[in-house]
Each structure stands twice: as C-alpha cells, then as structure tokens.
C-alpha cells in the first residue's frame, strides 16, 4: 500500500526554505520537519511515476490496480509473474480479442500453460462463385487445458476466460484435465 514511510527524508525539506527569522526557531523547524515526513512520499512517488505504469517495475499492489485500468483478464489468484505478463500484454490482447490466437494467449497468461483449441471455422478461396463453404455448419469451440494439479476452481476460471474472450456468436465448451507426467528415463 502507498503511505508514509518511517524515516524517509524529503527531497525538498521545508526548513531551509523558511524566512530567516525562523532559521533558529526550534519550534518552527520541528513543525516543518513533521510536515516534511508526512509529505516526503509524494515527491518520491512523483519522481518515480513512470515506473508505476511499467508492470515489470510497479509495486505488486499497484500492478493489481493497473490490471483493472487496462482490462487485463486477471482474477487476483495468479502468481506475480503471470499477473505482470497479463498487464503488459493487455493492450495487444485487446487487438486480437475474439480470435483463436487471442484466446490461446489469454489462457496461457492466466494459467502458464498453452491450451488445446478446436473450432469449427475455416477459410477458403475459390475462383468460382458458390463453391463449397469450408468448416462445419454448426459453430463450436472447445478449449482443453492440461494442468499438473487441476481443481474445480481452474475449470471455473477457464470458463470465465473463454466466455469473455471468445467470438460473441460462438457456443463453447471447456475441459480441464490432469497433465500426464513426463516419462522418466532410467539412467545406466
């Protein structure tokens, strides 16, 4: 949380700026020293303001707040490195929202694992009109995520992400399963 920091010196102390008549006045100097201590964080924050808007440098609590500003798909439970990556990628992800690539990247940033996405759409080109339409007649989207230790909360989180970032007209299903452990090799 932002606030006062004990012992933080002011970069602009008020004591030396007082008129000369208060230079030797102990009460006036102690009074403005108290004001200096209360105001010291303000110039320090303003001096570092650009760092507050860089998700790699901002304090963690400010990064969570910044996530709400940029519309990052976060829920407050993700690890710090995934939160910072989601905030940094938010603007780019808004440009590809509703696409397979955008959905895959959003899920990867939320869980740290790339999803398997199957969909009914396709694209084709023909020199002759009224050619066959590629893809399936009924739209569908299925997102399958393999996690090392899946929970019900992971499925709910995936459902929320897919609902928010899929194409608006597309019916969808989600599935979260346990990832298969890597095969162990026996060393001679």
Q: Has residue 114 got a pLDDT over 90?
A: yes
- Average confidence score pLDDT of the chain: 87
% of the chain exceeding 90 in pLDDT: 42
167 occurs within a structural domain? yes
128 occurs within a structural domain? yes
160 occurs within a structural domain? yes
119 occurs within a structural domain? yes
130 occurs within a structural domain? yes
Q: Three-class SS of residue 88?
A: helix
Q: Looking at residue 134, what is its pLDDT?
A: 82
Domain of residue 138, residue span? 99-183
List Cα–Cα distances, 95 to 41, 58, 65, 91, 143, in angstroms: 37, 24, 21, 7, 21
Integer Cα distance of 139 and 137 in angstroms: 6
**Structural domain total, the chain:** 1
Most confident of 13-22, 124-133, 177-186: 13-22
Q: Has residue 121 got a pLDDT over 70?
A: yes
Q: Has residue 1 got a pLDDT over 60?
A: no
pLDDT in tens, 48-62: 889 989 999 999 999
pLDDT in tens, 150-176: 999 999 999 999 998 888 888 999 999
CA 133 to chain centre: 39
Give me the CATH number covering residue 156: 3.30.70
47 occurs within a structural domain? no
144 occurs within a structural domain? yes
Segment 107-129 mean pLDDT: 88
* pTM of the complete model beyond 0.85: no
């Amino acid at each position: 949380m932002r606030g006062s920091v004990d012992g933080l010196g002011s970069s602009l102390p008020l004591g030396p700026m007082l008129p000369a008549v208060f230079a030797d006045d102990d009460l006036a100097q102690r009074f403005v020293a108290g004001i200096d201590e209360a105001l010291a964080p303000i110039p320090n924050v303003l001096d570092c303001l650009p760092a507050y808007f860089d998700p790699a440098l901002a304090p963690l609590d400010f990064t969570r707040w910044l996530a709400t500003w940029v519309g990052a798909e976060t829920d407050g439970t993700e690890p710090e490195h995934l939160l910072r990556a989601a905030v940094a990628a938010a603007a780019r992800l808004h440009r590809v929202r509703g696409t397979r690539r955008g959905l895959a990247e959003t899920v990867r940033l939320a869980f740290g694992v790339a999803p398997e996405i199957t969909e009914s759409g396709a694209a084709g080109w023909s020199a002759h009109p009224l050619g066959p339409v590629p893809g399936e007649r009924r739209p569908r989207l299925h997102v399958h995520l393999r996690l090392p230790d899946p929970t019900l909360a992971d499925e709910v989180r995936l459902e929320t992400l897919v609902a928010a970032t899929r194409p608006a007209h597309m019916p969808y299903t989600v599935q979260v399963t346990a990832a298969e452990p890597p095969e162990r090799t026996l060393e001679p």
